[in-house]
Each structure stands twice: as C-alpha cells, then as structure tokens.
C-alpha cells in the first residue's frame, strides 16, 4: 500500500469576513493559529483514493463538485475516490453560503481551489510503502444541545468514540500520520472572536505533536455533530481544555486491528432528498413584511438591541425574497441531490456526508459497517447542504429544523425521512 501525505496553510487574510455566526460587525483582526489543509493519498493494487480536510466552515456543494473534478483531473483520480471535507470551525474565513454570516470572497475561493489542487499533487508525488492501525478511544467533550432542555441525560446523548487511524512506514514501523475523527461542533469560541482559529482542533493537534513529534502529520475530521456542542466554551482557556481532552482520548485509544487487507473499494451515489418546504407562496409576503418591520424598529432604536437580532430579521427578509422569486419563476428548489461517498480500505470504511449530521444517524451508520470491520463518518464533506436532523430529535430540534435552512438559502429543512434514505443506500454498500 502506498501512502502520501501533504499539508499546507489555508489563506487567512486580515480584514476578510469570517463565517459561522451572525453578529460579527467587521472582519478578522488576527491569526490565533494558522489554519491547515491536509491531504491523505492511499493507493493499492492500482486503485487510488484521497481524503482532503480543510480547516474551514465548509464549502458550497457546487463549488466542492467543481473543485473535486479539477483535483481528480490533476492527479488522475476517479471522482468517486475523493473526499473533500471541512472541519466546520466558526473562526475561519468565509468559505461558502451562509447568509448574514459572512460572504465568501470569489478571489479567495479561486485561490483556495488552486491550493487544494497543488496539495493533492504534493500528496501523490511523495509516497511511502505503509500500513495502518485502527484504534478507538472514548471522549466526552460534547453535549447534546438539542436534547438539553428536553432530556435529563442530554450529556450522554452523544457519540463518545474518538476514532484514530495511525499510518506507519513499512519496514521501519515509523509513525507517519494520525487521522482522527470525532463528533463535536468546533464552537468553543463565539461571534465575539475575531481571530482565525481551528478552535479546539488546534489544541488537540498541538498536544499530539508535542507527544509524537512535529514530523508526524495530525489530521482531524469532524464527525456527526449537528446536535452536539462542546461542554466548555467562550474562552481560549476552554478551547485549550477541550482540545487537550480530545488529544488525551486519542493517546489512550486502544488498538482494534492492524490492517492486513489492502483492497480499496470506493462508492459514490447521488441521492434525491426532498425538502420540507417551510412556507406556501401566499404566506411569504406577510412573513417578509414582518421581518422588514422588525428591521425598521431595531434600526430606529439605534441598534441598542444586539446586532445579531437585526441580522436574523434581515436574513428572514432576504430568504423570503429568494423563495418568492423561486415560486414566481417556477424553479423553487424542493429537492436536493447530495453526493454520498464511501471509501473502504481493507476493514475500514470512511463514510462522507455533505451535511451537519445528527449524532444518532452516525451511530447507526457505524453499526452498519461493524460486521465487516470498523467505520467512521465525516460530516461537512463534498459540500454542505445544511443540517440533517434525525430520529426522535427531528421534531424536537428548533434552529436546526426551523431556521437554519434560511441561512443556507433553501426553502425548508430536509424531510424527516432524509436520514432513512441515506441509511438505506449505505446498507447496500455495507452488504
């Protein structure tokens, strides 16, 4: 098995708009920690695959699709064999559509696309013969923000697994890279932060570098955390505490297996997911007028209320305009078409979903693949369509099912059956 690793910095211009939150009134003022992009290339028996993780909030599906195609063309890779993920930090440069929460700069997007292509080329051109080990740790830095006011055991309604893949060089047994996956929103920092940062991910990687050495690449991917937030928040001290706890879980992770099966199998399918459209045409105009009236009242009060409130109402009005135009032109988007990808390397399955996935679906997907080995799920991968609420928490969610779609520019959240549609496809892959 040939393995290639490459890392580079994400562009972080000062003054550029950040994203993830409403309420920021100006651009980035400083760089707390350099944001990274990392590529992991794996080839076996002529089958080539690659995983790229970028320390940004996420990319639009269309941008991701074009970027994936260009990367694959540059390194001679089938598009089904590439996962392009993001960690979902809320302290990064604006990288996609999230209305009211920072606008992505077209020049930055173009330059970042070329950076990702160059990164992929570097990973392919610097390979070694290697193997990997899979280990599993337990981490409790997350809590269930949706269940918080509804269930007494909300602290336990999380995915506690820290999945760890360690890559070694054949012959020397030298550790070359650690790829970890865990489900928790990188939001220990809030909208008052104006420094670029990978959030708790930075401190987790920093501690692992301190333990294993700077020459070992450490890559983090975010799991299913649409309903999960950090337990400790709102200061860099809490960010460091959270990251160190995750790193400790990775260090203590127990080996499950050393991979001996080098077969690579890649799967990709575009699924049709209906949206639960929020408003009928006749409901949009009064909704829009109510939002505009709120904007006027807040403006007349000289912004004495929290600035976030005015942005929330402005986004409602803007979203209503989008929906009205969609109805009038008969092209309102009522179905989305996410690309679901799975890369299987021996006994390990890596599932990539372009959503903010609720944790219960992630747990059920892992269980699907456990009869044939182990699996973990990367959210925010190959674009981001917004939230994927699932199970009993679909009806209980508030922002995730009743408002977040407006920021992404969709007429409504995904339908309640969305998770089941994806699960049924993955069941075919697992079998």
User: pLDDT tens digits for 86-97?
Assistant: 999 999 999 999
User: Binning pLDDT at 50, 70 and 90, where does residue 25 land?
Assistant: confident
Give the pLDDT confidence score for residue 302 in this predicted structure: 67
**Among 289, 304, 331, residue at a domain's last position:** 331
Give the whole-number percent of the chain exceeding pLDDT 90. 89
Within-domain flag for 7: yes
- Closest by CA to 198, choosing from 169, 239, 155, is 239
Within-domain flag for 391: yes
Within-domain flag for 139: yes
DSSP, collapsed to helix, strand or coil, labels residue 416 as coil
User: Binning pLDDT at 50, 70 and 90, where does residue 303 land?
Assistant: low
Q: Is the pLDDT of residue 118 over 90?
A: yes
Q: Mark whether 208 and 294 lie in a shared domain.
A: no
d(CA 49, CA 262): 12
Give the pLDDT confidence score for residue 63 in this predicted structure: 98
Q: Mark whether 283 and 199 lie in a shared domain.
A: no
Report field, pTM of the whole predicted structure over 0.75: yes
Within-domain flag for 417: no
Domain total of the chain: 2
CA 114, 120, 121, 126 torsion: positive or negative? Answer: positive
- What angle separates helix 200-212 from helix 236-251, to the nearest 10 degrees? 50
Within-domain flag for 347: yes
Q: Mark whether 56 and 112 lie in a shared domain.
A: yes
Average pLDDT over residues 299-320: 82
Sequence-distant (≥ 6) Cβ neighbours of residue 185 within 8 angstroms = 88, 90, 142, 222, 225, 228, 229, 230
Q: Largest Cα–Cα distance in the chain?
A: 71
Q: Mark whether 97 and 221 lie in a shared domain.
A: yes
Give the pLDDT confidence score for residue 300 in this predicted structure: 78
- Closest by CA to 267, choosing from 361, 363, 352, 394, is 352
Q: Is the pLDDT of residue 326 over 90?
A: yes
Q: Mark whether 15 and 133 lie in a shared domain.
A: yes
Average pLDDT over residues 26-45: 96
Give the pLDDT confidence score for residue 261 in this predicted structure: 82
> DSSP for 209-226?
HHHH-TTSEEEEEE-S-T
Q: Mark whether 243 and 297 lie in a shared domain.
A: no
User: Binning pLDDT at 50, 70 and 90, where does residue 297 land?
Assistant: confident
Half-sphere exposure (Cβ direction) of 322: Cα atoms closer than 13 Å: 19
Within-domain flag for 418: no
Beta-ladder partners of 143: 229
Give the pLDDT confidence score for residue 304 in this predicted structure: 53
- Cα 66-108-270 angle, rounded to 5 deg: 25
Strands 2-9 and 36-44: antiparallel
User: Binning pLDDT at 50, 70 and 90, where does residue 121 land?
Assistant: very high
Q: For 362-396, write each residue's pLDDT tens digit.
A: 999 999 998 878 999 999 999 999 999 999 999 99
Q: Mark whether 373 and 310 lie in a shared domain.
A: no
Within-domain flag for 414: no
Q: Determine which helix (DSSP H) or strand (DSSP E) holds 230, and give its type and residue range.
A: strand 228-230
User: Binning pLDDT at 50, 70 and 90, where does residue 305 land?
Assistant: low
Mean pLDDT over each residue of the chain, to the nearest integer = 95
Q: Check if the beta carbon of residue 151 is closer than 8 Å to that of residue 73.
A: no
Give the pLDDT confidence score for residue 431 in this predicted structure: 84
Q: Residue 315's domain spans which residues?
A: 278-331
- Closest by CA to 256, choosing from 145, 431, 427, 375, is 375
Q: Check if the beta carbon of residue 362 is closer than 8 Å to that of residue 337.
A: no
Within-domain flag for 427: no
Q: Check if the beta carbon of residue 234 is closer than 8 Å to that of residue 193.
A: no
Q: Mark whether 308 and 185 lie in a shared domain.
A: no
Q: Mark whether 293 and 200 lie in a shared domain.
A: no
Q: Mark whether 148 and 73 lie in a shared domain.
A: yes
Q: Mark whether 327 and 369 lie in a shared domain.
A: no
Structure tokens of 354? 């372009």
- CB environment 97-135: b (16+ within 10 A), e (fewer): bbbbbbebbeebbeebbebbbbbbbbbbeeebebbbbbb
Q: Mark whether 102 and 127 lie in a shared domain.
A: yes
User: Binning pLDDT at 50, 70 and 90, where does residue 19 land?
Assistant: very high
Q: For 212-264, write each residue's pLDDT tens digit.
A: 999 999 999 999 999 999 999 999 999 999 999 999 999 999 999 998 888 99
User: Binning pLDDT at 50, 70 and 90, where does residue 152 land?
Assistant: confident
Average pLDDT over residues 265-293: 96
């Amino acid at each position: 098995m040939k393995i290639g690793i490459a890392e580079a910095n994400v562009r972080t211009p000062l003054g550029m708009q950040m994203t993830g939150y409403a309420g920021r009134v100006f651009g980035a003022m400083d760089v707390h920690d350099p944001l990274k992009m990392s590529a992991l290339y794996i080839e076996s028996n002529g089958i080539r695959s690659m995983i790229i993780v970028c320390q940004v909030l996420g990319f639009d599906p269309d941008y991701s699709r074009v970027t994936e195609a260009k990367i694959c063309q540059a390194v001679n890779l089938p598009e089904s064999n590439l996962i392009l993920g993001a960690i979902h930090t809320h302290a990064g440069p604006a990288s996609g559509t999230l209305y009211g929460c920072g606008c992505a700069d077209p020049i930055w997007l173009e330059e970042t696309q070329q950076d990702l292509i160059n990164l992929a080329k570097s990973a392919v051109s610097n390979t070694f013969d290697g193997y990997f080990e899979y280990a599993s740790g337990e981490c409790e830095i997350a809590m269930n923000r949706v269940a918080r006011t509804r269930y007494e055991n909300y602290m336990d309604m999380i995915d506690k697994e820290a999945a760890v893949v360690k890559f070694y060089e054949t012959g020397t047994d030298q550790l070359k890279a650690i790829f970890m996956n865990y489900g928790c929103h990188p939001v220990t920092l809030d909208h008052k932060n104006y420094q670029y940062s990978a959030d708790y991910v930075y401190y987790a990687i920093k501690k692992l570098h301190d333990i294993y050495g700077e020459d070992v690449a450490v890559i983090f991917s975010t799991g299913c955390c649409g309903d999960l937030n950090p337990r400790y928040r709102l200061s860099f001290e809490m960010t460091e505490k959270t990251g160190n706890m995750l790193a400790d879980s990775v260090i203590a992770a127990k080996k499950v297996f050393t991979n001996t099966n080098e077969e690579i199998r890649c799967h990709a399918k575009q699924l049709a997911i209906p949206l639960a459209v929020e408003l009928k045409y006749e409901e949009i105009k009064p909704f829009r007028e109510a939002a505009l009236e709120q904007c006027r009242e807040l403006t007349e009060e000289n912004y004495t209320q929290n600035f976030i409130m005015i942005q929330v109402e402005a986004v409602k009005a803007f979203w209503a305009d989008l929906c009205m135009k969609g109805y009038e032109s008969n092209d309102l988007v009522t179905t989305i078409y996410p690309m679901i990808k799975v890369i299987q390397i021996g006994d390990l399955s890596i599932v990539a979903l372009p959503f903010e996935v609720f944790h219960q679906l992630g747990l059920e997907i892992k269980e699907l693949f456990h009869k044939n080995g182990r699996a973990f799920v990367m959210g925010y991968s190959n674009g981001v369509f917004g939230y994927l609420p699932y199970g009993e928490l679909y009806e209980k969610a508030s922002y995730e099912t009743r408002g977040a779609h407006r920021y992404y520019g969709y007429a409504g959240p995904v339908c309640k059956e969305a998770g089941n549609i994806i699960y049924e496809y993955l069941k075919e892959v697992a079998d």
